[in-house]
Amino acid sequence: MGASLTIGEFSRLTHVTVKALRHYHDVDLLRPAAIDTANGYRLYSTDQVATAQVIRRFRELDMPLEEIRDVLHASDLLQRNRAILAHLDRLERRLDQTQADVASLRSLLADPAIPPAVEYRTAAATPSFAIAEMVPKAGIDEWCAAVFAELYAALDRADVRPTGPSGGLYSNDFFEDAAGAVTAFIPIGDRVEPRFGRVQLVEVPSSRLAVTLHVGSFNDLDRTYGALGAHVAERSLGSEGPIREHYLISPADTDDLARLRTEVCWPISPVLDTNYLLEGNRPWISE
Amino acid sequence: MGASLTIGEFSRLTHVTVKALRHYHDVDLLRPAAIDTANGYRLYSTDQVATAQVIRRFRELDMPLEEIRDVLHASDLLQRNRAILAHLDRLERRLDQTQADVASLRSLLADPAIPPAVEYRTAAATPSFAIAEMVPKAGIDEWCAAVFAELYAALDRADVRPTGPSGGLYSNDFFEDAAGAVTAFIPIGDRVEPRFGRVQLVEVPSSRLAVTLHVGSFNDLDRTYGALGAHVAERSLGSEGPIREHYLISPADTDDLARLRTEVCWPISPVLDTNYLLEGNRPWISE
DNA sequence: TTGCTCCTCACGTCACGTGAGGTGGC
DNA sequence: TTGCTCCTCACGTCACGTGAGGTGGC
């Protein structure tokens, strides 16, 4: 039963602005201990100081108000600590990401864009274990990590060996919007039914592709996309279909980001691809 | 003279969403190379890929669009690099701050609030060198650093010694709103005219104060404010006037945040202060 | 009466995201 | 005709900040 404080006094004790306090009242995150019925004044108790400070600390760390509400209303300590730890983990990841972004930006500003070596290749249709889902752009790395773990577990369970590097199919929506369909796959030799979690048997379709090898962190993938996409566009080779990535050396294989190797594969039209024609192919004849 | 790309194609090359590209067009940050007059389609050139990627990288690092515009339109390299470095500095400070916030949050959640030792004291009116300005809450640390450097320089110039620790007067507005009036001061013995920068001669008024010593980083000052303010409120000692801080050991004296010592001084009413009365004072008699 | 503190709308900020509803060429 | 990609509003999001205009007690 602490003393009663006006909103201004309470603000000074807690270092939370008056506007913020009114907002927390509006969204029912921190209700004043009482309201003066005569004039509508909010009256806070000194007992509420600690709560307000906790809110302030979490907001300083960019925790959304909804999550702060969960922390404050957590029924048990376990649940509460889980919510807090989840946020601290997220912060840590963001710190790492920011540091990587800064390094990556420095290299973008320093290095001139080197025109990439582009190879043309026809990928044959391949039966694969695959997981296909709508994935938000921001969470793609975590999604891939989780999903490939599941795919490899499915291989183990089915006692099947991969017949090539793992890969991903990225719908146009994935790049154009904030989220889109992604298929993570691992090619297998035979048509085996997976029967494991979200894993399905999928035939990755055949496609004519322009391919560039991307060296290093996924943070810089956009540079390879830009270079390869420009290469294709400038030669008017573009075609429909999802963009592919092949994970030759993936985060599952190494912790050293510099050692990562990723093939970026841009779908191209065989009809317009001179190399393809020179190999004796006649794509306009129905296959 | 690169190839022409629709917004969707350009989006895939740059990893910038279509919505974001339209937004950048709206605010004139990245104008399409051409617009198809027949149907209003935006047409981008492959030459614009690098620019879009730079925008994306900076946005990833939370640089405001206005600042990105400055970077892109910078007339010379010097100006451009200055803008970039300023942002990287800010990021670095934010990383440090976040780490401090996390540590501070852990201690808030772990430690029970220890009731502080509160001392009552009457501060006499003191002529001081001072700088008074409206300061945004978020920038108070930087402001203090700059302003105290200026104040000490003024002391040097006037060949005057401080007669006590430096301090700050914080208006109520400073805590209640996002910004407010702050006076940074250094007490001096005599009334000397400073004649240096923003520095003025000010008499810090006398006041009856409840004082608590805050040990350690300014990040945790809110805890001392809460404890001291609650102490004052629960005894109904509160009075008008700005809150004071005295910087006994300040960042100018040490790099070790744990060694910082700050007195937080809450104005109280002498009439209601029993200690004051017991000392034989009779504040209701006009002074 | 002036100042001060509180109140409630209503609207602004920032950088997009989310539909709705419509067009144009294959 | 269906699908696909593009278009333009208009409104939503998140956590407040910014006034405007008004009240109530000293």
Length of chain A equals: 287
Amino acid B91: pLDDT? 84
| Residue of chain A nearest B57, judged by CA positions | A105
Nucleotide nearest to A8 (CA to C1'): C5
pTM (2 decimals)? 0.84
Q: Does position B283 have pLDDT exceeding 60, yes or no?
A: no
Asked whether strand C has any atom less than 7 Å from the CB of A36, the reply is: no
Helix (H) or strand (E) segment spanning residue A106: helix A77-110
**Half-sphere exposure at residue A246, Cβ-oriented, CA atoms within 13 angstroms:** 15
Average pLDDT over residues A234-240: 89
Exposed e or buried b for every residue in B79-115, given b needs 16+ CB within 10 A? ebeebbeebeeebeeeeeebebbbebbeebeeeeeee
Q: State residue A219 phi and psi, 5-degree precision.
A: -55, -30
Residues 6+ apart with CB under 8 A from B265: B121, B123, B207, B209, B210, B211, B243, B244, B245, B246
Distance from the first to the final alpha carbon of chain B: 84
Q: How far apart are CA B102 and CA A86, in angstroms?
A: 13
Question: Is the predicted pLDDT of residue A279 greater than 70, yes or no?
Answer: no
- When CB atoms are compared, the residue of A18, A61, A101 closest to B177 is A18
Q: Which residue is nearest to nucleotide C7 (CA to C1')?
A: A40
Q: Which of residues 14-53 of B touch strand C (CB under 7 A)?
A: 17, 19-20, 23-24, 38-39
- Compute the residue count for chain B: 287
Which nucleotide lies nearest residue B9, CA to C1'?
D5
The tens digit of pLDDT for each residue in B14-54 reads: 999 999 999 999 999 999 999 998 889 999 999 999 999 99
Torsion (CA) A170, A175, A181, A182 in degrees, nearest 10: 40
**Greatest mean pLDDT range, A79-83, A157-161, B105-109:** A157-161
Q: At what angle do helices B65-73 and B49-60 cross, to 10 degrees?
A: 140
Tokens standing for residue A71 = 């922390």
- The confidence band for B94, taking pLDDT boundaries of 50, 70 and 90, is confident
Residue A66 and residue A80: Cα distance in Å, rounded?
13
Nearest residue to A19 via CA among B188, B181, B178, B156: B178
Contact residues, chain A, for B178 at CB < 8 Å: 17, 19
| DSSP, res B273 | -
Q: Which nucleotide is nearest to B20 (CA to C1')?
A: C16
Position B276 pLDDT exceeds 70:
no
The pLDDT value recorded for residue A22 is 95
Supply the pLDDT for residue A80: 82
pLDDT digits (tens, 9 = 90+) for A197-226: 899 999 999 999 999 999 999 999 999 999
Residue A262 β-bridge partners: A214, A247
Chain A, chain B: beta-carbon pairs less than 8 Å apart: 149
Which nucleotide across the nucleic acid strands is nearest to A173, CA versus C1'? D5
Closest CA to B95 of B142, B61, B55: B61
Residues B9 and B12: their CA atoms lie apart, in Å, by 5
CB contact under 8 Å between B108 and A57, yes or no, is yes
Protein residues in reach of strand D (CB < 7 A): A 17, 19-20, 23-24, 38-39, 59, 64-66, 172, 176; B 6-9, 18, 22, 39-42, 177-179
Return the pLDDT at B36: 93
Taking the CA of residue B214 and the C1' sugar atom of nucleotide C1, their distance in angstroms comes to 43
pLDDT recorded at residue B195: 87
A190 contacts A215 by C-beta, under 8 angstroms: no
Mean pLDDT over residues B259-287, rounded?
70
Mean pLDDT lowest among A65-79, A131-145, A270-284, B63-77: A270-284
Report CA-CA distances (Å) from A95 to A99, A100, A205, B76.
6, 9, 39, 31
Whether A54 sits inside 8 A of B109 (CB atoms) is yes
DSSP assignment of B156-167: HHHT--BSS-EE
Mind listing the pLDDT tens digit for each residue in A10-46?
999 999 999 999 999 999 999 999 999 888 999 999 9
Q: What is the pLDDT of residue A82?
A: 79
| Contact predicate B233/A3, CB 8 Å | yes
> Best interface-test mutation with A: which of B5, B14, B17, B232 has the largest number of A CBs within 10 A?
B17
pLDDT at residue A9 above 50?
A: yes
Which distant-in-sequence residues (6+ apart) come within 8 Å of A73 by Cβ?
A: none
Q: What is the three-class DSSP state of A32?
A: coil
Chain B residue closest in CA terms to A228:
B13
d(CA B151, CA B247): 14
**Alpha carbon distance, N-terminus to C-terminus of chain A:** 84
**Closest of A186, A187, A170, A179 to residue A244, by C-alpha:** A170
Of the candidates B2, B14, B177, which has its C-beta nearest A17's C-beta? B177
pLDDT, average across residues B123-127: 94
Q: Is A16 helix (H, G, I), strand (E, B) or coil?
A: coil
Q: Of A35-39, B32-36, B91-95, B264-268, give the lowest mean pLDDT range.
A: B91-95
Maximum separation of any 2 CA atoms in chain B, in Å: 91
CA-based angle B29:B35:B41, to the nearest 5?
A: 100
Q: Which two tokens stand for residue B62?
A: 């939370």
pLDDT at B285: 43
CA distance B29 to B49: 14
Q: What is the mean pLDDT of chain A?
A: 89
Which residues are paired to A266 by β-bridges?
Answer: A210
Mean pLDDT of B177-203: 92
Q: Which two tokens stand for residue B16?
A: 């910038």
| Residue B105: pLDDT band with limits 50, 70, 90 | confident
* H/E run at residue A156: helix A140-158
Mutation site for A-interface testing, chosen from B15, B48, B220 by largest number of A Cβ within 10 Å: B15
Partnered with residue B185 across adjacent β-strands are B130, B167
Q: Which of A83-97, A143-157, B6-20, B233-247 shows the lowest mean pLDDT across its residues?
A: A83-97
Rounded to the nearest angstrom, the gap between the alpha carbon of residue B65 and the centroid of all alpha carbons in its chain is 23
